[in-house]
Structure 1
C-alpha cells in the first residue's frame, strides 16, 4: 500500500521528523527518541571509509599554556595553574567537500582541538564560526544531504541547498556568515576557532556555569574573495595544507588565545535568547571574554594516515570539570561523533596512538572487537585482553573503582517529554545585526555571492529567501533581490 507520510525504516509513521524529543522546551534530548537515533546512526554509515563531513583536513600538534587560572569555575586541571602546559592536537578541515576537494571552497572550516590532559582527553570539536545552520541534530542528515551531491546527477545542487535554507530560517545567521567575506578563510592559520556549542563548567563547590569556548587567532585574519579563491583552486587545491606544513617547517608557529564566556547557571532561565541555541551568539557585553591560555602549534605528524586520518575527535570526550548542556545539536553530536568513529575505524579506535590518552591511563572493562589488544605506546593500560576481569563490580582487590570524587553536580530539568518547535525563536535579529556591521562594499559582495548560487534555484525558493533576508534587514533583502535581477 502506498502512503505519502514519512516512516521509520520499519515502516512506522513518524509524527514529527523535524524536532527531537526533549524534557521540556529547553531541556536535554531523551535517549528514547528512537527516530533521532535511527536517522543519525544511518547517516553515520552512508559513506565508506572517509568522513561524511570534514573529510579533507590537516592536523598539527602543539602545546596549551595556562595564563589565567580558572579554578573558581572548573575543576578541569588543564585550565588551572598559571604556566601549566598540556599537549594538544588540532585538526583543521573543510566541511562539505570530499577528500579530493579544494581547500579554497566557500565552506565553514572545522576547528577541532584535543587536550591530552592528566584526567583524559578533552576534545573541543568546533568550527571557525560561533554559530551553525541548525539548532536540532535531527535535521543534520537532511542538511548535509543538501550540501552533498545530488543522488541522481552526482552534481552539487544549489536548488536543494537553498530550498532547505528557505524552509529553515534558523540557518539565516550562519548563511550570512558563510556568504560574507568571512566565508573563505585564506588558510587555516589566519582564522578564529570556536567551540560553538554551549558547554558547562563545574567547580569544587559543585557550582555549575555555562561556557562558550573562543580560540582567538594571534595572526592577522585573512580571507579570500570569490575571484581569488577561484584562482587558488586552479593553481593549488591543497594550498591550506601546504601553507601550514610550510609554516611549521619554517618555525613560524601559529598561536591562538583561548578565551571563554561564562554564564552562571541561573542566568540561562532569564537570558533574552535561548543560551543553548546553536544559531545564536551571546553578547560580549553581557558575557565578556575571559582569557584562559595560549595554544601554539609547533609539530607536524609523522604519518598523515595514522595520525590525521585516524584521529577520532568527538565532543563526547569530556573530562571532570567540563560537561555538556541542553544544546540539542550538542546532545545529538555526543552520540553521533563517537558512533561515526566506531563505524569508520573500529570499536577500539581509542587504542590508536593518536587517540589514546597521552597523559593518563585508560582503564575499563571493554574487550574484543576490531583491533582488540592494540597497545597504546604511552601507557600500559589494563585493557586489551589481559587477565583482569572484564566486568564490574568484581571482587579483585585491585579492581577498578568508581571515581566518585569527580561526580558532576545534578542538573535540574523540568517539562513534558515532547517534540518542541518554535519556542521563543527569533531567527532574524542576530543575522540583521551582523549584516549592519558590514561596510557598504562588504554588503554588496555578500548580496552578489548569494545571488551567484541562489539564481540557480527556482523562483519560489528565491522569493522565500528574499523574505528571510528582508526580515533580518530591509536593505539586505533589497540588495539580494537587485543582485538576482541583474
Structure 2
C-alpha cells in the first residue's frame, strides 16, 4: 500500500528507508561509520541552535501592516508615507532586555519594540523600546550597563548591587529608572504597551530640508500592567505568558493595533532648546513639539515558524530608506554599527538574504562570497566590481541625503547640561498620583534587596534631588528612618 505522506529524504534528497534503527554489525554489534543517515541526523541536531542575542534574547513577534492616515510628505520623501491610505507589510518583534531565551516573560524590565517595514525602497527598521528614554546617553557606557543587567561572573546570579551601583554612579539614568520602577515597567503583554524610537532621527524632504523627528507608537488596546506580586503568580503558572497572549490574540482574530505618531522639530531648533534634543535620556516636551498622527499599525498574522521568522529576524537602526536619516545622538551613532555587526556574528555575513530579512524591493550590490553565500548577482557574472562596463548596478545621486547643519570639532565631550539630570525625572514623578508613587517606592525597595548601605544612600541622594518626597518615599519603603537619613 503506497504511503500518502511525503517521502522522507536526507538533506541531499536521497530517500530514507528506516528512520528508527542504526546500522550495526550484527544484531548486537557496534554502529558502523557508514551509517551516514544517522550521523547527518545527529550532526544537524548538534547545530540547531545559534547564539542568542546578547541583549533582547527573549522575544515574541508577528506580521502585520502599516496604513498611512495623515499626509506628512512635507517633512519626508520616504515613499512609505507617500499617500494617505497606502499600506506597507511589516514584522514586529517585542522582547525583554536582560533575560536569556529561557527567562520568564513577565519580569520587570525594559521591553524592546522593533518594526521591520518592507518598503518599496528597501527595509526600514525602527528599532526601539517601550520607553521614550534610556539609562545612558553615550554608546561608550552601554557594554558596562548591560553587564550590570546580566549574571555576576562568580555567583552566576543577577546582582542588585551591580545594578544600583552603576545607576547611582550614573545619575543620567534617573529618568529611565523611574519609568522602569513605575507601573509601566511591567506590562501585561506586548499589545498593552507603547513603543518609541527613543532616539532622535531625521526626516528630509524632496527640497533637501531636514527635520528632527521622534517616533511614537501608542497602544490602542490601553495600558495594562502587573504589580510585582501579580507577576510572581503569573510566572508561577507560565514563563511564556507574553507568547501565549500575543499568539492567542492574533489566532482569535483580535488584531492588536497602535497609532503611529511623530514629533517634528525644525532643524535649526536644535541649537535653541534648553536641553540637548539628541540626548537619549531626555524627552521633547509635547507642549513644544506636539504629536502628529502618521498612521495605524495592525498585527494580523502569526509566524508559521518561530525560528525562521522571529529568531532569524535581524533589526538594525542602520536600515533606513531615502527620506529617513540619523542625528548626532551618540547612542544612535553607536547602534548604527553595533546591531548590524551583532547580526553578522550571530547569523552570518549574508544575514540580510535570509527570507525574513530579505527586502521585498530589488536588491543589487557587490558583496561577495563567505559562509552561506547561496544567491546570484542579477545573473550578470561579469559585473562583480564597480565601476564596470557590463551593466552592473550604479549609485543613484538623486537619493543623496542633504548634509547636516551641525558642525564642530571632533572631541570627547560631555553635554553642557550634564548637571541637569533631575528636571525631567521630576516632571515625570509629579505626574504620578499617590497610589502610583507608593508602588514606585515599593518596587524600588524590593529591587534593592541585598544592596550595600553606601550604594543605597548614594541612590537616595539622587532621588532627593528629583523631589524630597521621592527619596523619603523610598526610605519609608526600605524601613529607613527619615530623621536618621538626614
State the match for 1:429 in structure 2.
423
For 2:408, the equivalent position in structure 1 comes to 415
| Partner of residue 183, structure 1 | 185
Partner of 1:82: 84
Asked whether the 8 Å contact 2:50–2:347 carries over to 1, the reply is no
Structure 2 counterpart of 1:350: 352
Q: Determine if contact 2:145/2:166 at 8 Å carries over to the other structure.
A: yes
Q: 1:252 aligns with which of 247, 251, 254?
A: 254
Contact 2:380 2:392 in 1 (8 A): no
Alignment match of 1:470 (pick from 438, 445, 464): 464
TM-score where L is the length of structure 2 = 0.87
SS of equivalent residue, structure 2 residue 270: helix
Partner of 1:372: 373
TM-score by length of 1: 0.87
Tell me how far apart the structure 2 counterparts of residues 414 and 93 of structure 1 sit (CA, whole Å).
Answer: 37
Tell me the CA shift for residue 48 of structure 1: 6.5
- The Cα offsets for residues 195-220 of structure 1, whole Å up to 9 and x where unpaired, read as 11000000010000000000011102
Task: Determine if contact 1:455/1:484 at 8 Å carries over to the other structure.
Answer: no
| In 2: Cα distance, 1:368 partner to 1:409 partner | 33
Q: 2 CA distance for matches of 1:246 and 1:94?
A: 19
RMSD across aligned positions (CA): 1.3
Which runs of no fewer than 5 residues in structure 2 stay unpaired? Answer: 1-48, 481-486
8 Å Cα contact 1:121/1:317 also seen in 2:
yes
**1:335-380 Cα deviation digits (max 9, x unpaired):** 000000000000000000100102x111000011121024xxxxxx
Aligned position for 2:117: 115
1:382 counterpart = 2:377: yes
The residue number in structure 2 matching 1:439 is 433
CA distance in 1, matches of 2:226, 2:363: 43
Task: Answer yes or no: is the 8 Å Cα contact 2:149–2:158 preserved in 1.
Answer: yes
Residue equivalent to 2:197: 195
User: Which residue of structure 2 lines up, in the alignment, with residue 391 of structure 1?
Assistant: 385
After superposition, the C-alpha distances for 1:85-127 in whole angstroms (9 at most, x for unaligned) are 0001000111100000000000011100011000000000001
Give structure 1 regions of 4+ aligned residues with deviation exceeding 4 angstroms. none
Rounded Cα–Cα distance in structure 2 between residues aligned with 1:123 and 1:234:
35
Note the C-alpha offset of 1:412: 2.8
Which one of 342, 355, 370 corresponds to residue 340 of structure 1?
Answer: 342
Q: CA deviation at 1:306?
A: 0.8
The answer to whether the aligner puts 1:459 opposite 2:461 as a matched pair is: no
Structure 1: state its 5+ residue gaps: 1-46, 375-380
Aligned twin of 1:401: 394
Which secondary structure does the structure 1 equivalent of 2:63 belong to? strand
SS in 1 for 2:417: coil
Alpha-carbon distance, 1:419 to partner: 1.0
Give the equivalent residue in structure 1 for 2:95.
Answer: 93
- Could you give the per-residue CA deviations for residues 179-231 of structure 1, whole angstroms, max 9, x where no partner exists? 01111000011111101100000001000000000001110210000100011
Structure-1 residue corresponding to 2:19: none
Give the superposition deviation at 1:454. 1.8
- Higher RCO (CA < 8 A, seq sep 6+): 1
Alignment-derived partner of residue 281 in structure 1:
283
Deviation at 1:386, TM superposition (A): 5.6
Q: Secondary structure at the match of 1:263?
A: strand
**Residue 301 (structure 1) aligns with:** 303
Question: For the residues of structure 1 that align with 2:474 and 2:184, how far apart are their CA atoms?
Answer: 18
Distance 1:370 1:56 in 2: 26
Give 3-state SS (helix, strand or coil) of 1:479's partner: helix
The 1:48/1:85 distance shift into structure 2, 3 A limit, reads closer
Which residue of the partner structure matches residue 64 of structure 1?
Answer: 66
Number of residue pairs matched by the alignment: 431
Q: Deviations over 1:420-457 (max 9, x none)?
A: 12422211111111111111111111111111122421
